[in-house]
Amino acid sequence: MTSLNQTSSYPSDSIEWLKRLIAFDTVSRHSNLALIKEVQAYCESLGLEPVLTFNESQDKTQSKANLFVSVPASGGLAGEESATLNGGIVLSGHTDVVPVDGQDWASDPFKAEVRGDKLYGRGACDMKGFIACALTLLPQAVSLSKLGKLNKPLHVALSFDEEVGCLGAPLMIEELQQRGVQPDYCIVGEPSSMKMVVAHKGISVFRCSVHGKSAHSSLTHQGVNAISYAAKLIGFIDELAGRLADSDQTDPLFDVPYSTLSIGTIKGGTATNIVPNLCEFTFDYRNLPSMGTADILPAIKQKIGELNEQMQQVDTNTGIEIEQLESVPAMTDTESEALQQLIAGLVSSSARHKVAYATEGGQFTNAGIPTVICGPGSIEQAHKANEFVELEQLAQCDVFLNKLLETLQS
């Protein structure tokens, strides 16, 4: 087993930062404040003034926070009259990670461990590896700012609850807008094997609640079977998914070139001999940037209306309700050509990729900040047991960010 101190050919500062970040259990159901406070203290030690935006939990306490920090241009640190915060590039990453429950890990998921040429731990690639590299870059950026050599600012944005619907980033972006801070570009460091991703799909999650009427299973005509009607609606959604796959609204640059619909969960019924009075299921819609919920909801709601009419012929208190649980916008490449050209000159391949998974990138593009994705590690390792990032990927990310910093210099 290789220790963390036996990696001299790799970026030790980034590795040490990643080790510290992984040690914080920031699974989305937990607070991320300990990690944020650690980064806040680090930034303040560099003379920076990070801005925190908080959530509000059910008991009205602030249990999670975003952090946004800027290394200003014009030779002034934050708060000084000469400081310039507008423009520049945001390096964005989420601090929360997915659970490890039920996964068979070979080592403690919250204690970074280097084995061979890989560093293992929850969040190693998704996406604390990128955050570690970004934090490692800050002292150099501060030094350039003090010397008056930073022509445009460098920003670092850390968010909460990305994994459960990108809940934190909108609060941070709103705060930026209130302060009048408008960065030129954003790079979201999701694991992309250090390849440039220029667009991703949006995600909308819906829940359908089918309210039937209970009856003895020998008297089915007296009841309204919630599961049966849920099945009819699910069948229709599956048919609609097929039509999306066969439509002419496609984009061959996406790994799945069309918008998709997928049933995710279902529950209902209490006993085999009781006509069920409730069934609930969820489905998600992953749309191309050129599409939206308007391309599916009217048809689904029309079908719900038809089924409601059938159900209410037996009992007027029955019916189907649909509600939206999550909405993460697609990230479009329509306004990011200049950024794409910049990034293409800094990575090993100028190829432009588009992906089906979603990030906070769409929220930045909706705020008028052209965005691309580029980060260390493979999405294939994300969310799995024994998640890892290759040390070479961290090294590539460090080189990439240093080159990026050069583009901000006068």
Which of 330, 344, 141 lies closest to 249 in space, CA to CA?
A: 330
The first and second tokens of residue 47, run together, are 């003379």
Q: How many CA atoms lie within 13 A of 255 on its CB side?
A: 11
Q: Which of 96, 126, 333, 360 is catalytic?
A: 96
Which amino acid does the sequence have at 5?
A: N
CA distances from 294 to 211, 214, 245, 291, 365 (A): 25, 34, 17, 8, 20
Distance of CA 285 to the CA centre of its chain: 16
Look-up of token digits 């870059």:
137
Cα-Cα end-to-end distance for the chain: 45
d(CA 128, CA 157): 12
Q: How many CA atoms lie within 13 A of 169 on its CB side?
A: 28
Active-site residue flag, 162: yes
Give the ranges where 23-77 is alpha helix by DSSP (H): 33-45
The first and second tokens of residue 68, run together, are 């946004």
Q: Is 260 exposed, middle or buried (0-12, 13-18, 19+ CB in 10 A)?
A: middle
Q: Which of 25, 113, 126, 162 is catalytic?
A: 162
Compute φ and ψ for 352, nearest 5 degrees.
-110, 125
CA distances from 382 to 54, 326, 377 (A): 26, 21, 9
d(CA 240, CA 228): 19
CA distances from 408 to 43, 96, 177, 184, 372 (A): 20, 29, 22, 11, 17
The first and second tokens of residue 202, run together, are 């949006």
Q: How many CB atoms lie within 10 A of CB 173?
A: 25
Q: Which H or E run includes 227?
A: helix 226-246
List residues with catalytic annotation.
96, 162
